[in-house]
Structure 1
């Protein structure tokens, strides 16, 4: 280290006069225009989560369940070996290599569909999804922000703003004391507040990504902005520099592949100028450019280091900054890296901060990967943002310029969206945090948003006598194609049985993307892929995709999504009972919320086709479908036999919706047909499943058929979300729904884990979890949020909030699973499938709250009118 006196190079945790908790409320920057909000997820950088859970593994299966799945285990093992060792591919679900729990993640960077980079709550760049749908979990140590304070021309303090003490880069000053900083997340923004011990200076890094509801341009941009607000509480001015360092790559092996190079850049247009460094990552497939940039202003000094090696001590870069608060700024590009070597770059921005005053510095991180290929490398896809910034791979400077000159506008839009909810005093703080922070998955769910190719046909050229779907529906052509993963570990795009729950976030916030996704699903319904393949559960061969049934998913990003659907091969999902029904329910729900009549007209024949396919599951002709005896729905590890509460309820709700749509398209014949089925099916449903308090899990008469399923009212939930469920379009008696929900609350919620962990999937009437399967004794967070929404619709708001709160407290506060909410957890010990799609269903709660507020407003207005009119 080069020392210049007086210098404070250490970050020792000197005892201050207040605790870390006090710091989190005291050190909030003022007068910045964007203070740290009151609501959100907040954590001290020194925090350590006490509970360390492990991922679900085969050894966690009970002996009885193991005996029932020996064949599956053998077949999966053979398939896994072939996939990983012969084909050198990643399995779509890897049961042997589950991701361990790392309690480190924070708000991901970037908009929707252009890839994401996750920055941890301690400041590390630690999760990468640049190649579409494929994740790399690696903390790149050299990717950091460093602060340099200077007084009267001398450096008095220089510190990497990281609590880590890595074995590399020993020439830097590591080990910032995390007790004096806190992180605050309210997606799509995050704030990190650092008090610099002994310096009387507070830094607040505000991280902004353009994720804006109903915005289909800026929301697609692969950019993020870091705004550093500096508060100087001293009686003398300071010169403050922030240095941003970044490795050319993402910490994976191709960082050392050779041929990567960096160059400085300057771009001026529309009266604004930005400058920085471009890091060109030159891989054969999916090359990209990272861009570090800052906006030029008269009172800011921007300097850079085009290239440095991120190994060894890196003392030269540290000394360069400590000398005068700036970097040497060499001109020209660096030579391409030799194989086996990495290269990094640095950007520093400095300003003066007056005594007892404020100032701010701005950085942008952008990445440009305009053309992508999935794992098959068969086709080139064009990302959505290229519509505005081109496909040549040279857009990074323009992206950063646009971000730095528009992020204030983004924040105004974000505030306009969030403030009505944040200011609603009737909503608890935990709910506001959950509602916005769970939305991270829309961008960080392996998400791709691409332009529709000119030669593309959503139905693969299949047309019925009536014409069928247009080859390029207007909404798909205008807004592109959208796909997101079931989960970061369950690598299938647009998994439809799960999207049923998650879809509320899309239809409420980006409805055009929701409709586009529906057209893609509808197009695949009419197609048939006769290729025979082995299904691992049954051991039987059957076709990949049957005609006139909804696919399970639209493909694996390690293959060729949209072109080859149904990456899931554990079950033959053509026999699943819920997929077709969930399509019909979403079609009408989406129409109800968008009032898009063209969409309804296009989807009506598809709905008729999938309902005809579903009819074959009504084996006895009583108007109610039956389950097959194995796990033939989204609970794919929980067997169900005969008519069931879950699938039977979805069936009745779908028939009810078909009645409504038949009337809307003026098909009285269809209405009468479905009305007859609804009447007969409702009677059978009550007779076979209602036990006086709730609907039995199934009607098989097995010992466990009377288990209490938390998701038994899913069909009614969707009817209420679609403005139905009462009067003519009612499938379930209101008093029975209320009784069932009360049973679920009393047993699945309050009798499980002291009422503190949400609702367990299956509960026995005697008050113990149903341990008959690996899924019946799990809590599914996304199902719980849907259950809470149903309770809210039925006037059980307090119970709904209590139910959902248990999941939020468990995931975010107790288990340290922020920004990786899993599919499931058990009461003790394990979780399953980190970073999962289904918890986006929390937006169904907001839809229910909006509806109840509207109903209350209407009721209040009616009462007011009655009072004003007086007695008759």
Structure 2
């Protein structure tokens, strides 16, 4: 393809020899029912595009029943889980992994609204406001019927068309007087996170409406990215011969329409506001959540050529005729009230904001702008013990009345947000060498940054309550208390706050570290200060203990919740008190896991390599030494290589492993190498020599005990039926070394041999190469079905394997591996914006909306940070 052109990023050269079958933009089955012709105003070529009339043919259900031969290993676990579940139910609690109440697959989700850590609302691809996370880390899966956009078209003062812009069928009871059922074949949705477009064609009036949804999610931006708001900017194209008066109306219910919101709380009210004719709308005050009142603000830009009008309050449980008829008669609202009455129990209220404008014949009217903002500044987790301030309160205050201020700020700044988003995305989108699906996947999988139960909190000198309580609970168990205080009072935490996201929307644990190992590349590459902040919190927890004894359901043994000197599995459940009480995970005692400690060292060094923050490396160094010393206890025979204990003591927590293993052994070797590198940087020569000697012995043992001439065996247990299985993720440690620019531990030809074996077997021989990389394959080409996880495809592992392939110059194989994953999840099974942890070959999935798939950003990092000459030489 020749040399990169002037202005092209240097990483493009790595793609010169990439031979892939490029799709055509027109070849999109998701758009097969689209009957329109307009591409809409400003809709980009690339992204995830779907007709509103599309129906997914493949229907999947949550995984629930193991194969017969897998049952014996799960009998005790199942019995103990049932007892544990019933015990929690008696005290009106639920486990952080509730296998009896898994979420069904709803093939409806779209780009979420809002920035990072202030709560999130998902707006589906058919226009539904359908997944709510206002209470920190806790989801309510409900579609709120009253939350809609309506268009009213008038000609010479008479309404000729009025329609809810929703394909929803006419409700049997609520709002049934509204005109529903917009023809889905005349509209399409286009997602390119953090923006989305919906295009509606109204052929009978030669009108095309384009709604552009914009949220402030901007790399390396730590103010606006925290703002809980989204803008809906409408363009109205009038292709007819006549001038038209067009009104766009946004309606919203006060609350999310749940029974809890409607039946058990009262006192909600709405009030109007105007800001010097710049912004006008309605603030909705809501008191559903105990100790956490919040407001939602719906507003529109007040411009000379447009008329903003409001309906302060209407009943969303009525037939809706009052508001519908007023709009139909006038094209706007004539509200005279400035505040509504408070609701009683069982009552609901909603509001509507309309923008009316005249669109001349054969013209395009742009920037009919609406905004939705929400303001829940002070939050509590489930224990209700400690109050926390959200990050955005640093800029907008914590009084609870910032909704209009946030709304105006969003309307005034969203075009600047878009320019920054375009500058970030354009180098990838304009690269003709990259496949189309990748241009969608790399950005749309990033949805989890804001919609992953994400919480971003302030920590400063006036907000010490959380720190003092945590110290009080754990101080008698703390190791190196001075180090703990130093870490928890770091400048990174003070300046950039505390960040957490869930392992999954169904696996309700914050900052699950074995999984963050995969997802963290997205933070490290795009918001590195948040990644460092998270690492300081993990380091603090490593040096603490919790001697409370808990009966873990895997083996029934009672063990301490947290042991000093080991990495926590997670920093807690949002329905308890995160950071104060860590390790909500109840299956295994993770103090004996073999992957967590090496993963901390690997992430610390990778993060240093990306940020070049020496102070961070210095602060983490003593903690790294602590976890490495603890891990060396797992080297039972003194050969330098750690051993697994015959259980599922790793992130693959349902797949047992005995003795030295490809996965944990590889992580350990990589961690040893990073420790040596860090010691050299910090001029710790004694430590460098110590770990160099261990590394020499460990690599020899790793090769001797696991290398079979083509790949590294799953483990060294010659008596098992899966010891020589081909593990897709066997090069995880090498992925991190390559990302840190280190390639001198395991010979490159062996890594290439492993990756080729994984590609030829785990990818190509599984589901015709169309489902990503299955976790385990047998040397005879059959899927390893020895456990409930070996026959799964883990979405995030597949992307990580693909990234490792890109680092090693296997561009075609890497892209095809990831393509199978993306297309099966997003285009075939309808799991857009809820990428699961795992899918099986047929019928089932596990854990919707999961953290690990953020590892796809490892692919982009590999393209941008692998030496082009090295790629060419492989």
1:656 equivalent to 2:673? Answer yes
> Contact 2:808/2:871 (CA < 8 Å) preserved in 1?
no
1:396 equivalent to 2:403? Answer yes
SS at match of 2:231: strand
User: Partner of 1:144 in structure 2?
Assistant: 148
Deviations 1:135-169 (Å, cap 9, x if unpaired)? 00011111100000011111010000011112231
User: Partner of 1:386 in structure 2?
Assistant: 393
From 623, 627, 630, give the equivalent of 2:647.
630
Looking at structure 2, the residues matched to 286 and 721 of structure 1 have their Cα atoms a distance apart, in angstroms, of 42
User: Partner of 1:868 in structure 2?
Assistant: none
> Contact 2:487/2:539 (CA < 8 Å) preserved in 1?
no
> Contact 1:456/1:471 (CA < 8 Å) preserved in 2?
no
> Contact 2:386/2:465 (CA < 8 Å) preserved in 1?
no
User: Partner of 1:870 in structure 2?
Assistant: none
Distance 1:465 1:99, change over 3 A: closer
1:454 equivalent to 2:454? Answer no
User: Partner of 2:22 in structure 1?
Assistant: none
From 192, 198, 202, give the equivalent of 1:192.
198
Looking at structure 2, the residues matched to 259 and 834 of structure 1 have their Cα atoms a distance apart, in angstroms, of 35
User: Partner of 2:223 in structure 1?
Assistant: 217
User: Partner of 2:801 in structure 1?
Assistant: 787
Spell out the pairing of 1:235-254 with structure 2 (5 A cutoff).
235-254=241-260
Looking at structure 2, the residues matched to 171 and 25 of structure 1 have their Cα atoms a distance apart, in angstroms, of 27
User: Partner of 1:496 in structure 2?
Assistant: 513
Distance 1:188 1:24, change over 3 A: farther
Looking at structure 1, the residues matched to 702 and 434 of structure 2 have their Cα atoms a distance apart, in angstroms, of 36
Q: How big is the alpha-carbon RMSD for the aligned residues of Structure 1 and Structure 2?
A: 1.6
SS at match of 1:243: strand
Q: How many Å apart are 1:768 and its aligned residue? A: 0.9
Distance 1:265 1:310, change over 3 A: same
User: Partner of 1:62 in structure 2?
Assistant: 67
1:274 equivalent to 2:292? Answer no
Looking at structure 1, the residues matched to 551 and 870 of structure 2 have their Cα atoms a distance apart, in angstroms, of 56
User: Partner of 1:7 in structure 2?
Assistant: none
Q: How many aligned positions are there?
A: 827
1:73 equivalent to 2:90? Answer no
Q: How many Å apart are 1:235 and its aligned residue? A: 1.3
1:429 equivalent to 2:439? Answer no
SS at match of 1:307: strand
SS at match of 2:353: strand
From 90, 95, 104, give the equivalent of 1:100.
104
> Contact 2:36/2:187 (CA < 8 Å) preserved in 1?
no
Q: How many Å apart are 1:464 and its aligned residue? A: 2.6
> Contact 1:106/1:119 (CA < 8 Å) preserved in 2?
yes
Looking at structure 1, the residues matched to 373 and 455 of structure 2 have their Cα atoms a distance apart, in angstroms, of 17
Deviations 1:813-839 (Å, cap 9, x if unpaired)? 000000000000000010000000000
SS at match of 1:69: helix
From 464, 470, 477, give the equivalent of 2:494.
477
Spell out the pairing of 1:396-795 with structure 2 (5 A cutoff).
396-452=403-459, 453-455=463-465, 457=467, 460=471, 462=478, 464=480, 467=483, 469-701=486-718, 702-725=720-743, 730-795=744-809
> Contact 1:262/1:333 (CA < 8 Å) preserved in 2?
yes
Looking at structure 2, the residues matched to 245 and 427 of structure 1 have their Cα atoms a distance apart, in angstroms, of 40
Looking at structure 1, the residues matched to 434 and 33 of structure 2 have their Cα atoms a distance apart, in angstroms, of 25
Looking at structure 2, the residues matched to 135 and 470 of structure 1 have their Cα atoms a distance apart, in angstroms, of 31
Q: How many Å apart are 1:664 and its aligned residue? A: 1.0
User: Partner of 2:268 in structure 1?
Assistant: 260
Looking at structure 1, the residues matched to 113 and 481 of structure 2 have their Cα atoms a distance apart, in angstroms, of 47
Q: How many Å apart are 1:64 and its aligned residue? A: 2.4
User: Partner of 2:14 in structure 1?
Assistant: none
1:312 equivalent to 2:346? Answer no
Looking at structure 2, the residues matched to 77 and 380 of structure 1 have their Cα atoms a distance apart, in angstroms, of 33
SS at match of 2:699: helix
From 333, 338, 345, give the equivalent of 2:339.
333
Distance 1:574 1:467, change over 3 A: closer
> Contact 2:499/2:530 (CA < 8 Å) preserved in 1?
yes
Q: TM-score, normalised by structure 2?
A: 0.93
1:83 equivalent to 2:97? Answer no
Q: How many Å apart are 1:29 and its aligned residue? A: 3.0
Looking at structure 2, the residues matched to 285 and 796 of structure 1 have their Cα atoms a distance apart, in angstroms, of 54
Looking at structure 1, the residues matched to 560 and 313 of structure 2 have their Cα atoms a distance apart, in angstroms, of 54
Q: How many Å apart are 1:493 and its aligned residue? A: 0.1
Looking at structure 2, the residues matched to 471 and 236 of structure 1 have their Cα atoms a distance apart, in angstroms, of 66
Looking at structure 1, the residues matched to 742 and 37 of structure 2 have their Cα atoms a distance apart, in angstroms, of 49
> Contact 2:807/2:871 (CA < 8 Å) preserved in 1?
no
Q: Which runs of 5+ in 1 are unaligned?
A: 1-18, 861-872
- Of the structure 1 ranges 524-533 and 280-289, higher mean CA displacement relative to structure 2 is found in 280-289
Looking at structure 2, the residues matched to 376 and 548 of structure 1 have their Cα atoms a distance apart, in angstroms, of 26
User: Partner of 2:210 in structure 1?
Assistant: 204
Distance 1:858 1:741, change over 3 A: closer
Looking at structure 2, the residues matched to 472 and 25 of structure 1 have their Cα atoms a distance apart, in angstroms, of 57
Q: TM-score, normalised by structure 1?
A: 0.93
Looking at structure 1, the residues matched to 666 and 865 of structure 2 have their Cα atoms a distance apart, in angstroms, of 22
Distance 1:352 1:465, change over 3 A: closer
Q: Which runs of 5+ in 2 are unaligned?
A: 1-29
- Of the structure 1 ranges 491-500 and 235-244, higher mean CA displacement relative to structure 2 is found in 235-244
1:816 equivalent to 2:830? Answer yes
TM superposition outliers: structure 1 runs of 4+ over 6 Å: 857-860
Distance 1:857 1:572, change over 3 A: closer
SS at match of 1:798: helix
Q: How many Å apart are 1:467 and its aligned residue? A: 4.7
1:351 equivalent to 2:350? Answer no
Deviations 1:667-724 (Å, cap 9, x if unpaired)? 1111111111111110000000000111000000122100000000001010000111
Q: How many Å apart are 1:457 and its aligned residue? A: 4.2
